[in-house]
């Protein structure tokens, strides 16, 4: 279990190189500064930024085959309701070979994301400032969402972007198991819950 900021930073940076480390440090600084202007993350979580947000995002890479994205471009990673770029922007920083699309409808957050992408020079990251329903569909290799919508609604809205091979990675906090159990049996059999590395009581809903 990752519990300290030092452990979280060491964990997250194992997924990237020296350039990724520099970009993550800059992103963290931008995130904390912007959080003074608009509510991007909770104030108490600022003191545990690496545990609660950076490592929490990076751990999703545990659930995709590393050799796939290290050897070739596997497809697009779609992050729904990304907010300040969690987890999608962290993934884009750590894995420059993965094309990442961030969907966010709130104007203030879109402006922040666009500034981050430009400032950090992320050629693999695109920001779409619209509601998902208005985005032209494309096939996604991974679909992630940290706090976007209840599972059944999320699946319905993301269906145009999903194929039989799409991997869903959905951090759901402490409600993960309960939310999956409450869905229809046909949906429930397609997913399972993985324990979070940053919170012993939290889970990630992952497609089988």
Kindly tell me if the per-residue pLDDT of 67 is higher than 90: no
In 3D space, the residue among 72, 33, 29, 77 whose CA is nearest the CA of residue 57 turns out to be: 77
Model confidence at 25: pLDDT above 90:
yes
Q: What is the mean pLDDT of residues 191-197?
A: 97
Task: Identify the band that residue 72 occupies on the pLDDT scale cut at 50, 70 and 90.
Answer: confident
Which pTM was predicted?
A: 0.96
Give the pairing type, strands 76-80 and 100-103: parallel
CATH number at residue 32: 3.40.50.150
- The whole domain housing 47 covers 5-207
Model pLDDT for residues 112-155, shown as the tens digit of each residue: 999 999 999 999 999 999 999 999 999 999 999 998 989 999 99
pLDDT at 191 over 90: yes
pLDDT at 68: 79
Q: Tell me the DSSP string of 180-198.
A: HHTS-HHHHTTEEEEE-SS
Confidence of residue 22 (pLDDT cuts 50, 70, 90): very high
* Number of domains present in the structure of the chain: 1
């Amino acid at each position: 279990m990752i519990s300290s900021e030092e452990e979280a930073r060491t964990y997250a940076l194992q997924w990237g190189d020296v350039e990724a480390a520099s970009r993550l440090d800059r992103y963290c600084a931008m995130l904390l500064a912007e959080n003074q202007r608009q509510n991007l993350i909770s104030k108490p979580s600022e003191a545990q930024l690496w545990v609660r947000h950076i490592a929490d995002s990076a751990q999703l890479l545990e659930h995709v085959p590393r050799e796939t994205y290290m050897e070739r471009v596997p497809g697009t990673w779609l992050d729904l309701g990304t907010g300040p770029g969690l987890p999608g922007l962290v993934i884009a920083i750590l894995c420059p070979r993965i094309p990442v699309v961030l969907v966010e409808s709130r104007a203030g957050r879109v402006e922040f994301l666009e500034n981050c992408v430009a400032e950090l020079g992320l050629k693999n990251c695109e920001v779409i400032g619209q509601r998902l329903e208005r985005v032209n569909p494309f096939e996604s290799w991974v679909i992630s969402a940290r706090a976007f919508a209840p599972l059944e609604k999320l699946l319905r809205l993301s269906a145009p972007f999903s194929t039989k091979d799409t991997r869903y990675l959905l951090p759901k906090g402490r409600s993960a198991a309960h939310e999956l159990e409450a869905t229809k049996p046909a949906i429930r059999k397609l997913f399972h819950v993985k324990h979070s590395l940053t919170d012993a009581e939290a889970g990630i809903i992952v497609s089988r």
